[in-house]
A and B are shown apart, each in its own frame.
Chain A
Amino acid sequence: MKTNNKPLYYILFVAIFAILLPAAYLSGLLSINTISIWGRYFCFAIAALGIDLIWGYTGILSMCQAFFFCLGSYGIAMHLVLQKTSLPDFMAWNKITELPFFWQPFHNAGVTFALCLIIPALFAFFIGYVLFRSRIRGVYMAIITQALTLAMWLLFLRNETNLGGTNGLTDFKTLLGFDLSSAQVKLSLYLVSFAVLCLAYIACHRITRSKFGKVLQAIRDSESRVSFTAYKTANFKLAVFVLAALLAAVGGMLYLPQTGIITPGRMDVKASVEMVMWVALGGRGNLKGAVIGALLVNFLYSLCTSWFPDSWLFILGFLFVLTVLYFDKGLIGLVATVRQRIPGLHFKTSQTTNRYVADSK
């Protein structure tokens, strides 16, 4: 486990992904595609951090993180498409002669980056404001956000919305003048993603230990008591909801240039539940768990789909059920239990558990 008092695990984690993997690529052991795939996993992990903040720490099950993720991706994708042509192909096929107004700002890279963050944040603010104001929580929140994702997915599927419909946006050439197909660019995108993941982790870590984070956890454990002590819980929830949306959007922004395609399939109901599942599997209420869960599930996904494609859904389904039934705290919790069971390791975990308990109190 990597906790603050055990820097060894952090160093190991950073060493593997920041030095070992790139080194393996440079010495020819790994192909650039493998590197790129891990880069994508980091993007998922960034989004997972956001989910952990809102679900694991605040207890709000939001099913629309996939939608925010896609908002970030689509923003960048629109910019990349405009780099290539003045009018995207699919618009020409749909007999549209002029670029729609909402595409216009995406000509400029700076504006694009800003919009990729502002749009999801605004969306999250609006949704969160409406939902938290009427004290919608728990299951109701989950269902409504899921329905929202479904509705948005349907919207993005349409051709009239001018976002590429079912086929999404693809076939990008350059980003800020760099050729996206070149290995160097892919490697640097990988490193950037990793750096952003580390930064996001540190930031989230800080947040969870700040006063703000403590209030979030208090809301999770008993919202009514927090509001009785004169905290405006709705504002805290709104803030963390926007924060989670921003993290998802950042993940999406980095994800796009590495996959080279974004389709509405990334934000359907299935994808949004799956994102929540990464966190559940890794261990919610624990930032490390979120990162590990996202990396592990996606790694498993690429392994399984290439080895036995038919059974991936079975595996995922059983993972869902088993995690929920038996590993309530996810993988991190499992590791902790195993350590406690093995006497030789016992003294180490007692420290961490104490720490954890102290945190959440």
Chain B
Amino acid sequence: MRHFLRPGWILLFLLCSLRGRSQDSASIYVNQILQPSADSVRTNAIHRLVALRDPSTFPLLMAINDKKLYLLDNKAVTTDSKPSGDGNYRLYTVYPTYQLLQNSSGQPLLLPPGKLTAVDIPRADRLALVGIAPLLNLFSNDVQKRMLAYSQVGNLQDQSTLQLVAAAVNRETDENVQRIGREALYAARLYAAKDETNAKVYIDSIALNWSDNAATLLTSYSKEKAFSPAAGSYALAKASRLEKKYDNLQRIQNLFSGLSLGSILILIALGLSIVYGLAGIINMAHGEFMMIGAYTTYCMQLVFGHQAGDWFYVAALPLSFISAGIMGLILERLVIRHLYSKPLESLLATWGISLILVQTARLIFGDLTAVKTPQLLAGGWQVAPHLTLPYNRIFIIVLTLVMVLLTYLMLFKTKLGLQIRAVTQNRQMSACLGVETRQVAALTFFIGSGLAGLAGCAITLIGNVVPDMGQTYIVDSFLVVVTGGVGKLAGTIVSGLGIGFFTKISEAFFQAVYGKVFILLFIMLFMQYKPKGLFPDKGRIAEE
């Protein structure tokens, strides 16, 4: 057996030696750095390693640069930049390979920095690394650093640098970073290209790769660095096409945020509209129920703590509905039931309530708090390179869909819904026919406030939680109610979406503020033709 194996060994040895003397000399220098016989030897070794530019030594150099080089059982190791729980760090070997250290049970080995022997490299020696720091970062395990490094590596016309960058791009795992890296490479080759076909190939590659500043890059190429007018105009054409494509995607993105804004408006306006239709109450405190929902979510985050992960949000969804609903019920009993069918009076009284609620929230919670987005909803669905639909907005849209569906079923398929519709149409008549109008009104108020609370819970995903958050939405949602027609489910949905879309679209053209003025003018114009909203009642019930 041994006899046969021997040629294999020899082959392996040969291969190793083929990789050249650099490997050998690198390991010698590494040893000299870790166990220097004299300071000058170490200084020399570091300078030599920098000059070698061997990617296999980069983890070690990076560890030196970051002052994170340690010795563990005489092996050179480095740590993560952040502790993975309780001040313990994961460890990696740095040379000859970069590997995560594991304990006997196959789990990552976790140790506090105190258990490690730090290898002290004087500042003067570390300064030698400044020149190649961007290159080192190309191989960093921090995505942000890698992303940044490509713009810092400097002159890519230098062949050795170019090779290193190419190597880095090849081993890149993150899609976005790879795109940036490729662009840097293509750009370097494009600048070096001296004939038409080559240049066009690289221009095409850059356009195809389509990173964030591809268009700017191509435009500047066509203006300054193009070697022939033909290549320049080709690049310019590509750039403008990219920009157009980007604008279109941006428009889709805008429509999408319009959709999610519209969803929130629908969620708020739904309760408002039902309550107004049923009881003739203009509830200016409706926005504050939303605020209560948002603070319930915040409280859930506090109660569950950081360990529970996303569960706090799961709990907050029903709880924000219930807490806002109960608050609504209390207010209905105390104040609002005296004001049925007196919309203008109820407007003032509920405005007073909203002042009280806002001030209470301010006294309890202070001015600004935020709910962290659940892990599950972080990030987004990348539809195309420059079109990401955030999960939290998708979630809001889905939530609204579900709630609208439930409200529809509640209104049109249950006995309560039948009663609500009856009371909305004619209060006295329903009372005569044995409908407990007060109870129905109270329940409706509970549901309406609960929906607002849920909207508040949803809003924590996309904004801060502040005491007067309700007041930023209340006027808009009233506009939704007015445009959609009071007490009309379909009208609320259509006008909510319409106003949401319109806001976002006009924001794309004008600034947000002018968009708002525009919407208002539009609604005033619209009311000239449909003073009773989108879907007015017809026939007898239309009478006031």
Contacts and interface: CB of A to CB of B under 8 A. Distances in A.
A61 interface: yes
B531 A320 contact: no
A144 interface: yes
A130 interface: yes
Chain B interface SS verdict (over half): helix
19 contacts: A130-B525, A134-B529, A139-B282, A144-B520, A146-B475, A147-B479, A148-B520, A150-B475, A151-B517, A270-B471, A277-B348, A310-B363, A313-B358, A317-B356, A320-B351, A320-B352, A320-B355, A324-B348, A325-B349
Contact of B335 (A146, A147, A325): A325
A280 interface: yes
Interface in A292-325: 310-311, 313-314, 316-321, 323-325
Interface in B464-479: 471, 475, 478-479
Closest 8 CB pairs of A and B: A320-B352, A317-B356, A317-B355, A324-B349, A313-B359, A317-B352, A321-B352, A139-B343
A314 B59 CA distance: 62
B488 to A, nearest CB: 14
B344 interface: yes
A314 B357 CA distance: 9
A21 interface: no
The winner among A150, A160, A317 for most chain B CB atoms within 10 A is: A317
Given A139-B343, A143-B482, A321-B352, A151 B511 contact: no
A328 B529 CA distance: 35
A316 B359 CA distance: 11
A134 B527 contact: yes
Contacts of A100: none
B531 A136 contact: yes
The winner among B351, B352, B353, B531 for most chain A CB atoms within 10 A is: B352
B531 A324 contact: no
B335 A321 contact: yes
Contacts of A148: 520
A137 B539 CA distance: 20
B475 A325 contact: no
Contacts of B481: 143
Given A143-B481, A155-B513, A311-B359, 17 more contacts: A138-B343, A142-B282, A144-B520, A147-B478, A154-B513, A155-B517, A277-B351, A310-B363, A314-B356, A314-B359, A316-B355, A317-B354, A320-B353, A321-B335, A321-B352, A324-B352, A325-B349
Contacts of A287: none
A276 B335 CA distance: 20
A134 B353 contact: no
B347 interface: yes
B524 interface: yes
A131 B346 CA distance: 22
Contact of B338 (A150, A157, A325): A325
B286 to A, nearest CB: 12
A246 interface: no
B352 A318 contact: yes
Interface string A183-217: 00000000000000000000000000000000000
A158 interface: yes
The winner among A131, A318, A325 for most chain B CB atoms within 10 A is: A325
Contacts of A323: 348
A133 B349 CA distance: 29
Interface of B: 276, 282, 284, 335, 338-339, 343-349, 351-356, 358-360, 363, 471, 475, 478-479, 481-482, 511, 513-514, 516-517, 520, 523-525, 527-529, 531
A280 B348 contact: yes
A269 interface: yes
Interface of A: 61, 130-131, 133-136, 138-140, 142-144, 146-148, 150-152, 154-155, 157-158, 160, 269-270, 273, 276-277, 280, 310-311, 313-314, 316-321, 323-325, 328
A351 B475 CA distance: 44
Contacts of B523: 144, 147
A285 B346 CA distance: 18
Contacts of B475: 143, 146-147, 150, 269
Chain A interface SS verdict (over half): helix
Contacts of A321: 335, 349, 352-353, 356
Contact of B348 (A143, A158, A276): A276
A147 B67 CA distance: 59
B498 to A, nearest CB: 15
Given A140-B482, A140-B527, A143-B482, A320 B520 contact: no
A269 B471 contact: yes
A277 B345 CA distance: 10
A151 B282 CA distance: 20
A230 to B, nearest CB: 20
A313 B356 contact: yes
A270 B513 CA distance: 18
Given A269-B471, A314-B359, A316-B352, A151 B520 contact: yes
Contacts of A277: 348, 351-352
A313 B353 CA distance: 10
Nearest to A322: B352
Contacts of B524: 130-131, 144
Contact of B528 (A134, A138, A155, A320): A134
A270 B472 CA distance: 11
A61 B359 contact: no
A237 B297 CA distance: 47
B338 to A, nearest CB: 6
A323 B529 CA distance: 37
B366 to A, nearest CB: 12
The winner among B284, B349, B354, B363 for most chain A CB atoms within 10 A is: B349
Given A143-B478, A325-B338, A318 B528 contact: no
Contacts of A152: 517
The winner among B481, B525, B527 for most chain A CB atoms within 10 A is: B527
Given A147-B475, A269-B471, A142 B527 contact: no
B353 A154 contact: no
Contacts of B356: 313-314, 317-318, 321
B522 to A, nearest CB: 11
Contacts of A280: 348
A122 to B, nearest CB: 16
Given A143-B479, A148-B520, A134 B531 contact: yes
Contacts of A131: 524, 527
A273 B282 contact: no
The winner among A133, A142, A280, A313 for most chain B CB atoms within 10 A is: A313
Nearest to B544: A224
Contacts of B358: 313
Given A320-B352, A324-B339, A147 B520 contact: yes
A204 to B, nearest CB: 21
A139 B282 CA distance: 8
A152 B2 CA distance: 92
Contacts of A133: 528
Contact of B513 (A135, A157, A273): A157
B443 to A, nearest CB: 22
Contacts of A313: 355-356, 358-359
B531 A140 contact: yes
B349 A158 contact: no
The winner among B282, B355, B475 for most chain A CB atoms within 10 A is: B355
A320 B344 contact: no
A57 B127 CA distance: 82
A328 B344 CA distance: 12
A158 B355 contact: no
Contacts of A158: 511, 513
A9 B531 CA distance: 46
Nearest to B481: A143
Contact of A144 (B346, B353, B482, B513): B482
A273 B348 CA distance: 8
A270 B355 CA distance: 9
A139 B344 contact: yes
Contacts of A276: 348
